[in-house]
Amino acid sequence: MQQFYCLDMTEKALVPAVLPGVAEQQAGVPEVIKIEKNLNSMGFFTPSHKGLDTRRSKTVQVVREDRGRKIQATATIYPSPDHGLPTTADQDKYFAFQKIVTDLKKRLGHVANPIGFTTYQLLKILGMNPSGKNYEEIGLWLERMTLTGIRSQNLVYFAGQKTWAKDVFHVFERVVQVGQQLPDGRTADQNYVWMSEWQLENLNHNYVLPVDLNCYRKLRSNISKALVPLLQIWFYASQRRPVEKRYSELCQQLNIKQWEHLSKIRENFAPALIELKEHQFLGDWEISRTADKTDFKLILLAGERFSREFRLRLAGREPRDSGVQDPRFDGQVKMLTDRGVREDKARQLLFDVADDQPVEDQLEYCDHLIRSAPKGKFFNPAGFYVYMVQQNVQPPAGFETTRRRDLRVRQEQDQMARNGGRAEAETRRLAAEERYRAYQDEVVSRYMETSMDEGEVALRLKPLWKDLAQTCPSVEEWSEGERRALLVQCLKRRLAEEIPMMSMEEFLANSQLALF
C-alpha cells in the first residue's frame, strides 16, 4: 500500500480557537516558512484588482547570466479555462500550504508525495472561518493550482540536477480532495496534493526563500503581497543596495495595467509601497523617469527585514552582535571575489546553492587543480570557480581541505576534553554532514564499479567534458589523467542524484550518530 505523508491528525484537536502563531505575532517572533524560489520569482501569482482579466496567459522575460553569457529566459503561465490565472488570494493559500510543508520537512527531514492536510488546518493558518464558502474556496484553489500550466524556457531551475528546464509543468501534478478516491481505492479522509517533481527537488535541496508568514499575513495590498518574494530576491542578491526596476518590466512581470502618467502610477503603486515600508520590507522608495525619458523606474531601498540580524533570525540563528551578518555567506563571497569573481556574480551564485553545500572545500579543490595546471596555461580561472560551485563538484574523499582539517582537530580536542560528556553541537553537525558525504561517495563509487562498464562511463563523461571545455578551455592543456579525475568527480555528483540511497536522516538513524 502506498504511504501517505501528512501532519498528525491530533493537531486538529490541538488547534486553538485563535489563529496559530498569534502569540508569536504579538511577541514579534518570525514564523518562518520556506518557499520554493522558481515559482516566487517568475510572478506566478497575479495581483488581483477590479477589471483584471485572469483568463489570458502571461509571459515573463528575464535576462540572466550563465557562465559569462547573457541568456533570455522566459516563462509563460497558462490559465485554467474555468478558473483563470492564480492571484495573490491563491498566493495566501499557497503560503499557508507551505507552512504545512515546512513543518513536515522539519519532522521528516524531506518532503515526499503526496502531502496530506485538512481544509480546516489550512483555514486556521489563514485565519479564516471554517465556513462553507471558505471550504469551497480551498477546493477551487486546489483545482486552479493543478490546472494552471507553466512553459519554461530556461527559467525553471532544478537545484538537484543543476539545470534550467525547457519544458511544460504544473505546480501540483495531482490533487485528491476529501471524499474522492485515492489511487489505492480508499476514500480520502483529507486533501492530498502531489507536488511537481521540480518543486519537490528544489524544496529537498533547500532552493528556497525564507518568508516571515506572520508579517506577510498583515499585508492588505495585493501588489504588496506579490512584491514580497521579489524583494527578497532583489535585496539578497544586491547586498541591500538600492534596487532600480523599470516600471514597464515590473508591470509585465506582475501582469498589471501599465499607466502613462506619473500621477496615475503613484496612485496605483504608492499604497503598496507605503505598506511595505510600514512593515519594514522597504526603507524608502521613489518613482521617477528613466534617464532616456522613455519609461519610469522604481527606486527601492531595503528595509530592516533585509538587515543582517533579521536574515540570521529567518535562518534560525541569532546574531552575535549588531554588526554581524551571516559570517559564512560573507566569507564565501570574499573567497570568490578574491579569486576574481565579480561580487554581484558571487552573490547570485551563492544565492542559488543549498545552505549545506561545502563551497569552501570546492574552492580549495579548485585552487589545487589550478596550481597543478601547466604554468601559464590556465585562462579565466574565475569561470572555473563558478562552474565548480554551480555543478556542486565535491573534492575527492582523500583531499583534506582546511575545513575538513579543522573539523578533524576539533573532534580530537572534543574527544580529549569530553570525558564522558558531549561534543559541541556545531562540531557534531559538521561531522554528521561530512560522514554523510563520505557515505554518498562510497555508494556512488561502488555503483560505478559494479554497475557501469568502461563504455558507459565514457558515454556519461563525454557531455560533461564538452560542457567543461566550453566553460574553461584551459583544461584541454591538462593531462588525460587530470581531466578524467575531475570529470569523474562531476559524474559522481550527477549519479548521487540518480542512485537510490538513504537520506541524511535515515543514514544518521542507521549509524546512530546523534547531532545534538
Q: Could you count the other beta carbons within 10 Å of the beta carbon of residue 89? A: 16
- Residues 6 or more apart in contact with residue 342 via CB below 8 angstroms: 382
Q: List 348's β-bridge partners, or say none.
A: none
Averaged pLDDT for residues 420-434: 62
DSSP secondary structure letters along 312-352: HHHTT---SSTT---HHHHHHHHHHHHTT--HHHHHHHHHT
Which long-range contacts does 188-191 make (Cβ < 8 Å, 24+ apart)?
190/6, 190/9, 190/116, 190/117, 190/118, 190/119, 191/116, 191/117, 191/118, 191/119, 191/138, 191/142
In this predicted structure, what is the pLDDT of residue 203?
87
Residue ranges covered by each domain of the chain? 5-25+32-213, 220-304, 326-511
Instruction: Say whether pLDDT at 48 is over 80.
Output: no
21: left (phi over 0), alpha (psi -120 to 50) or beta: left
Taking only the tens place, the pLDDT of each residue in 258-273 is: 898 998 999 989 999 9
The reported pLDDT for the residue numbered 117 is 93
- pLDDT single digits (tens) 69-100: 667 788 888 888 888 889 999 999 999 999 99
Closest among 194, 184, 80, 205 to 140, alpha carbons compared: 80
Amino acid at 110: H
Give me the mean pLDDT over the 142-152 stretch. 91
Side chain identity, residue 26: Q
CA–CA distances in Å: residue 117 to residues 75, 308, 370: 30, 35, 52
Provide mean pLDDT across the span 490-508.
Answer: 78
Q: What is the number of other CB atoms lying within 10 angstroms of the CB of residue 407?
A: 18
pLDDT at position 415 is 62
| Phi/psi at 33 (5° precision) | -115, 155
pLDDT recorded at residue 467? 81
Closest residue by Cα to residue 423 from 408, 438, 403, 439: 408
pLDDT of residue 377: 64
Give the HSE-up count for residue 13: Cα atoms under 13 Å, Cβ half-sphere: 3
Give the phi and the psi of residue 375 in degrees, each rounded to 5: -60, 135
Top CATH class of 220-304 equals: mainly alpha
User: Partners of 282 in the beta sheet?
Assistant: 302
Please write the tens of the pLDDT for every residue from 235-262.
876 655 788 888 988 888 888 888 989 9
Is the distance from CB of 481 to CB of 395 less than 8 angstroms? Answer: no
Residue 201 pairs with which residues in a beta bridge? Answer: none
Claim: this prediction has a pTM higher than 0.95: no
Cell of 483: 581531466
Confidence of residue 5 (pLDDT cuts 50, 70, 90): very low
Handedness of CA 323, 326, 331, 332 (dihedral sign): negative
Q: Reduced to 3 states, what is the DSSP secondary structure of residue 61? A: strand
**What DSSP assignment string belongs to 218-258?**
T---HHHHHHHHHHHHHHHHHTT--EEEEHHHHHHHHT-PP
Closest CA to 247 of 188, 292, 299, 203: 299
> Which range, 146-150, 462-466, 479-483, has the best average confidence (pLDDT)?
146-150
Q: What is the DSSP letter of 473?
A: G
Count how many Cα atoms sit within 13 Å of the Cα of residue 223 in the half-sphere of its side chain. Answer: 20
Left (φ > 0), alpha (ψ -120 to 50) or beta: where does 134 sit? alpha
CA distance 85 to 222: 14
Mean pLDDT of 3-23: 36
How far apart (Å, rounded) are the C-alpha atoms in residues 430 and 423? 11
SS3 label, residue 211:
strand
**If you search the block for the grid coordinates 555567506, which residue do you land on?**
329
Spatial contact of 275 and 226, defined as CB atoms under 8 Å apart: no
How many CA atoms are closer than 13 Å to the CA of 72, on its beta-carbon side? 2
DSSP assignments along 257-268, one per residue: PPPSSHHHHHHH
Residue 292 clears pLDDT 80, i.e. is over it: yes
Burial state string for 11-28 with b = 16 or more CB within 10 A and e = fewer than 16: beeeeeeebbbeeebeee
